[in-house]
Structure 1
Amino acid sequence: MTISKENFYLSPEAYLEAEKDGPIKHEYIQGKIYAMVGASDAHVTITANLVALLRTHIRGTGCRLYVADMKARIEPLNTFYYPNVMVTCDERDRNFDYYKYYPCLIIEVLSDKTEAFDRGDKFTDYSELETLQEYVLINQKRMRVERFRRDAEGRWVLYRYNEGDELYLDSIDFHCPISAVYEDVSFFN
């Protein structure tokens, strides 16, 4: 994510209108916009694998899967992000065409440029979403997945998965071998 050259306050309404027709996607953080960067082969392959696995699983459940182009709105923070993968099972989200308020699951595929932000400020911001039950970070350099799950007391509990493990997502009662997430990914050092 890189900051745009415009360093002025943009209203949420103006941002949403500009994003409808703009050739470049931007995330929005408290009135400032940040251009999104491209993705690697591994990043796109992992995301496509997740979409294929999760879409089949949630079909007919009332849950909806969104990928890359749908924003998560964090209204208390005046922020919009584009998660790599997002699932919402909340009927209220059907009322919003360009963003979702009530996701239960957000997945980000890490890259060198976004990893610190995804682990830090973005996770903190996503934590403001009361319906969010799980936040998943997927490493694209090796088979390693970190799943943060909100417990009954509201604390985030970390679960780690490595090669040979089975990934489990409580929020949508989904499980699969971690190798399925990484199918067709080539690792380069």
Structure 2
Amino acid sequence: MVATPSYSYISPEDYLQGEETSPIKHEYRQGEAYAMAGASNIHVIIAGNMFAMLRNKLRGSGCQAYISDTKAQIESLNTYYYPDVIVSCDERDRAFSNFLRYPCLIIEVVSPSTEAFDRGDKFADYREMASLQEYVLVSQTRQRIECFRRNQDGQWVLYTYREGQEVSLASIDFQCAIAEVYEDVNFELPQPQNIEEIAK
């Protein structure tokens, strides 16, 4: 999400209607819509790798994985985000055509310009979703994945995976080598800069 809103107050109904025809995706927080910046090729490859593996894993299970164009609705906060990958196993989500309200897993591929928001305010918002069991941050600058998993007491516990390790997502009983997440990724390519660095 970029830092400046594209509109003054807008109703959620108007937001959803506008997204149907807008050439640019917007995230929505409590009456304001925010235009989303384009993603790097590395970002797209990582998100695509995750989606492909989850799609294969979940086929026939009753759970469904969605990639970047499906919104997560946080109803209690009047907020909509576009996660990079989102999984729902809840039949109630089948009633919605362009968002999910009851996901069990959300994955965000983070860059220097988005990491603070993804780790901070966005995660705080996602935690309001009672169905959410895991929130995963995937670095696009090195092989590192952080999985925040809700335990039986409702507390979020961090599990970190690094190069050479196996990633485990308990919400959907999924495991893979971290190298598979980063297949075809070239870390030697120029990386997106932090917004503060660009401003200098």
| TM-score clears 0.5 | yes
Cα 1:22–1:159 change in 2 (3 A) is: same
CA RMSD, 1 decimal: 0.8
Contact 2:104 2:131 in 1 (8 A): yes
Q: Any idea what SS the aligned residue of 1:180 has? A: helix
Deviations 1:14-69 (A, max 9, x none): 00000000000000000001000111111000011111111000000000111000
Aligned equivalents of 1:131 and 1:51: distance in 2? 20
The question of 1:38 aligning with 2:38 is answered yes
Aligned equivalents of 1:148 and 1:77: distance in 2? 21
Partner residue, 1:174: 174
Q: Any idea what SS the aligned residue of 2:185 has? A: coil
Bigger shift: 81-90 or 41-50?
A: 41-50
Aligned equivalents of 2:105 and 2:6: distance in 1? 32
Partner residue, 1:134: 134
Q: Any idea what SS the aligned residue of 1:16 has? A: helix
Which residue identity lines up with residue 18 of structure 2 in the other structure?
A
Partner residue, 1:114: 114
Aligned equivalents of 1:31 and 1:5: distance in 2? 11
Partner residue, 1:4: 5
Deviations 1:138-178 (A, max 9, x none): 00000000000000011000000000000000000000000
Q: Any idea what SS the aligned residue of 1:28 has? A: strand
Which residue identity lines up with residue 73 of structure 1 in the other structure?
Q
Aligned equivalents of 1:35 and 1:97: distance in 2? 21
The question of 1:18 aligning with 2:18 is answered yes
Aligned equivalents of 1:38 and 1:17: distance in 2? 21
Partner residue, 1:183: 183
Which residue identity lines up with residue 37 of structure 2 in the other structure?
V
Aligned equivalents of 1:139 and 1:14: distance in 2? 34
Aligned equivalents of 1:141 and 1:47: distance in 2? 14
Aligned equivalents of 1:167 and 1:99: distance in 2? 27
Aligned equivalents of 2:103 and 2:171: distance in 1? 10
The question of 1:53 aligning with 2:53 is answered yes
Aligned equivalents of 2:22 and 2:5: distance in 1? 13
Q: CA deviation at 1:86?
A: 0.1
Partner residue, 2:148: 148
Partner residue, 1:90: 90
Partner residue, 1:65: 65
Aligned equivalents of 1:75 and 1:51: distance in 2? 25
**Gap regions ≥5 residues in structure 1:** none
Aligned residues: 188
Aligned equivalents of 2:133 and 2:6: distance in 1? 35
